[in-house]
Chain A
Amino acid sequence: MLGEGQEGGTPLRRRALNFLSRRPVIAGWYGGVLTYFFIFVLLPTLFVLTYIFTGFPDILSLLRIQPGALGQIGGAVLLSYQVAIIVTLVDLVFGLPLAWFLVRRRVPGKSFVNTLIDLPLAVPTAGLGFSVALFWGVTPFLMAADKPFGALGLVSTGFVILVLLHFTTTFPYMVRSLAAILEEIDIEYETAARASGASRLTAARTVTLPLFRSGIATGAILVLAKALSDTGGVVAALTTIGRFSTDPATCTASGDLSGTALIGAWSALRGMAACQDVAAELTAGLALVAVIMIISALGLLAVVKLLSTRAHIPFRRIFPIWERRLSRGAVPKIRDLSSFAFLILAVLIPSFFLIGFLVITAPQPTDFGVFYLSIALSFLIAGIATAIDLALGVPMAILIVRRGSPRVKRILDVLVSVPYVVPSAALGISLFLFFDQLRFAPVPNLLFLVTLAHVAFTFPFIVRNVVGALEGLDPALEETARSLGAKPLQGFRRVTFPLIKPAILAGAIMAFTRSVGETGATLAVAGTAIVTAPVFIVSLLDPANPNYYAAALATVILMAVSATAMLLMRYLAWRAR
């Protein structure tokens, strides 16, 4: 360890350590963390719920000037849920065999497949949406000469393109969370079942799968949340196939809009000069969408949790002959092959199709000043947000795991997860309203607000990761350190921290990449005033003045940076073991 043997010697340092280890100081620190969490994360997230009452006149006014708005909101939310539920189910069907394959089989090249699955997570969803639409969709604004080789040009409806898009964005999450839980389940159970005469399928279905319910629930929640909350990908994909447009003249949006697409559209309109006189109405509309999305997301979360603990997902009856037949010969092979085919066709090719496009398309004149600035801005916001996440998230995790009564622990645990399942665009709206009400947000502060929003939705990544690591850590280690003479702070730095470092790092990288890729929350807080890279990518797809070349270039750059970060994380995690 660094600095071994030289530290703690100076009286000043001793005194500092003593001071920092004093009860009131520690209590103050934790108090500060909790205060921040409630005021800057939780309260703004839920603030929008009150706005429905205070902003009621504006909502009525919106309905007067745009009579179709209510129907549009309803249709959008419905579309979001249809897409999310279908995507979740299909992901489960294909994800389960794939996770099984990755955990239980010992085959060469497995770690390569593992890395490949994660890569789409590194691509900002705005870029992914663009890439997916280029591959699957009809592209009305792309000149025939520029049509990339291999583009299918099949899909022209919003519903289908959104389903296809979300396969790409969510499938890695599903496989990951299923594999993680499967890893924990002792294979001995299955071996015992098979030794008692059960076929492979029967054993897996009746023994492992029930143990696996929480894994399925986690995966389903993650996928649902992700599919419901993505904005950048949705807007990019819909724009590319021509099913998303905003009309500044009437200040209305049209197309096959899902919930977040509507948020994206109205947020953009609200920021336009032409729509300033209906800004309050648009805000009210946004709040309404946000409230519906937040409440339904929380409801869905509860339902999935309930289903996963109560319902018997696999039926109890056993069909020995049929299950035995299905366990042998061609069926398992077909199952594995179709999972892989799904991975390649629905996830990998659409994700990386853009690279091919970039290679063949002719460069277009691009304002590289804005281009680089947007990328720099993205990294700046993500960097600050991650730093704040770390400073607050780690103590928060310690607070959840090591302090307080079990009940307080459970409540905090749930509260921390709220921003996890609430669509980030809705969260952005809520945050905007909260600070707007405080008269806190003239334009120069927009950057500050955007950063706060990014902290709010990335915060759970750090906390969840560190909570997981701390729960796996024997508390006796810290206690022993203390009885050996370490102050609490020393114990943390010398014992706890080195052991949970991989988890902290993993959380930090997840938070960072998530922040870099986020579109919806940024749009919701700042409209198009803060041009982060994903916002920039979306704006480049504008049918009025499309620059697909720059959009592809920006995406590939972000992809490269994020992928490098992710590979680095894998390497560090591997080395730590």
Chain B
Amino acid sequence: MPRLELQGIRKTFGDLVALDEVNLEVEDGEYLVILGPTGAGKTTLLRVIAGLLRPDRGHLSLDGRSLDRIAPEDRGIAYLPQTYSLFNHLTVWENATFGPSVRGWPPDRIETVGREMLDLVRLFERRASYPRELSGGMQQRAALSRALATNAGVLLLDEPLRALDARLRIELRRELKDLATQLGITTLHVTHDQEEALSVADRILVLRKGRVRQHDRPRAVYEEAADPFVAHFVGEANFFEGTVVERAEQTTTVQLRNGRRLAVDRVDGDVGEAVLVGVKIDRCGLSLNGDGENAIPAVVQRILFGGKRTTLEVTLEGLDEAKVKVSSVDAAAFQEGQRVTFSFPRGYGRLYPHPPGGLAPALEVE
């Protein structure tokens, strides 16, 4: 039985549709990451689940029990907002045991749980400190222990790592996932960072403008993006607009506006239909000798060094710009202004119906 179930949730603020027909099933113990650009409705979704916002339409249930008329404090869903909302007038200990204490648990049980939770996040030694005396990472952990101590079955984390610096963020996201798995707690983790989402999620829910665009395992979201937006938002993609000219058993051939043809190992769309070919930028390649499948002559415009990997921006002959992301070792062979050949293996191409409003609006982040 799915643990958390949302049916047709809709929420508007005036004219703004924050959530539109959101359906969702989260399995027991699952670590779900809700990914989307700013303003996609991620926080609104969490707040609806927490009971802090009433949806205009739709139903929520937890373990088959309807949540629609249940107050936030009775839902058994712990919510950790972006700012952590640690209670600054209380010590770490009082923060951690806030939930058990307002629920009226017996003192000895509060004692045990407080100790257990603070040990879990390695803050027991700091139990007498006030939140302002803690570092950013410790604050995050203190807030987490407070949420976990309520014994809630579902944990809602709104950008839990946002306020931390890059290095710590990477360490803590792993820790967060392990903790949730260890406690078997169902977690909904909101982020706009696709790398964070890909690395910790059991499944990812991609939201855009209040609508669910894809709900799948990280690898599938990355490699089998449901639409151009997801393909571009999660890991960046190149797109080619064209028309299907041939459908073979395993391959579809698309003719681009410069007359060239691309072949992809997909079977989709009818002959004559306008389509988009999408391919992740790190699945594309450049060569100096004109090799490769789906080869298009190109000129290197800019080389953006990024540490391990380097992104090269090229202009394709008779087409627009494209990007290629390769290891920096391989990128060393190229120079700006150089004539090269752009290519990508036909197995990595994806086919999408051409968006009715044009390509740019379909990819827009806000």
Contact = CB atoms under 8 A, between A and B. Distances in A.
B72 interface: yes
Contacts of B240: none
A1 B50 contact: no
A8 interface: yes
B102 A484 contact: yes
Contact of A486 (B102, B107, B156): B102
A14 B73 contact: no
A7 B94 contact: no
Contact of A483 (B72, B89, B110): B72
A1 B102 contact: no
Interface string B57-101: 000000000000001111101111111010111100010011101
A477 interface: yes
Contact of A485 (B52, B102, B156): B102
Interface in B89-128: 89-90, 94, 97-99, 101-107, 110-111
B266 to A, nearest CB: 45
A5 B71 contact: no
A223 to B, nearest CB: 35
Given A480-B85, A485-B73, A485-B150, A494 B79 contact: no
B114 to A, nearest CB: 9
A576 to B, nearest CB: 9
B232 interface: no
A6 to B, nearest CB: 7
Nearest to A11: B104
A484 B52 contact: no
Nearest to B53: A479
Contacts of A498: 89
A498 B87 CA distance: 10
Interface string A484-498: 111100100011001
Contacts of B77: 483
Interface residues of A, number: 28
A5 B110 contact: yes
B78 A484 contact: yes
A480 B81 contact: yes
Contacts of A277: none
Contacts of B71: 21, 482
Contact of A484 (B51, B106, B107, B146): B146
Given A5-B97, A494-B98, A480 B104 contact: no
A483 B50 contact: yes
Contacts of A5: 97, 101, 107, 110-111
A186 interface: no
A175 to B, nearest CB: 30
A249 interface: no
Contacts of A484: 73, 78, 98-99, 102, 146-147, 150
B79 A479 contact: yes
A8 B72 contact: no
A481 interface: yes
Contact of B106 (A4, A9, A474, A482): A9
Contacts of A480: 79-81, 85
B104 A481 contact: no
Contacts of A311: none
Most buried by A among B78, B87, B94, B97: B87
B85 A487 contact: no
Given A5-B110, A498-B89, A485 B103 contact: yes
A477 B87 contact: yes
A477 B103 contact: no
Interface string B290-307: 000000000000000000
B148 to A, nearest CB: 11
B98 A481 contact: yes
B85 A477 contact: yes
Contacts, number: 88
B95 to A, nearest CB: 10
B64 to A, nearest CB: 21
B52 A479 contact: yes
Contact of B89 (A4, A490, A499): A499
A487 B99 CA distance: 11
B101 A483 contact: no
Interface in A1-24: 1, 4-10, 13-14, 21
Contacts of B52: 479, 482-483
A487 B102 contact: yes
A474 B85 contact: yes
Interface in B136-161: 146-147, 150, 156
Contacts of B74: 485
A39 interface: no
A321 interface: no
* Most chain B beta-carbon contacts within 10 A, residue among A5, A482, A494: A5
Contacts of B101: 4-5, 7-8
Contacts of B103: 8, 485
A480 B84 CA distance: 9
Contacts of A474: 83, 85
Interface in A47-80: none
A14 B85 contact: no
A438 interface: no
A121 B145 CA distance: 47
Contacts of B83: 474, 476
A13 B75 CA distance: 20
Given A480-B79, A485-B150, A486-B73, A8 B94 contact: no
A9 B74 CA distance: 16
A351 B331 CA distance: 80
A499 B131 CA distance: 14
B73 A483 contact: yes
A243 B7 CA distance: 79
Contact of A6 (B85, B87, B107): B107
A490 B102 contact: yes
B110 A8 contact: no
A4 to B, nearest CB: 6
Contacts of B107: 5-6
A457 B68 CA distance: 44
B81 A476 contact: yes
A474 B87 CA distance: 11
14 contacts: A5-B107, A7-B104, A8-B104, A9-B106, A21-B71, A481-B102, A482-B51, A483-B51, A483-B77, A483-B79, A484-B78, A485-B99, A490-B102, A499-B89
Given A479-B81, A483-B77, 15 more contacts: A4-B94, A7-B104, A8-B103, A9-B106, A474-B83, A479-B52, A481-B98, A482-B51, A483-B52, A483-B73, A484-B102, A485-B150, A486-B102, A494-B87, A498-B89
Among all A-B residue pairs, the 5 with the closest Cβ atoms: A8-B104, A483-B79, A484-B99, A480-B85, A486-B102
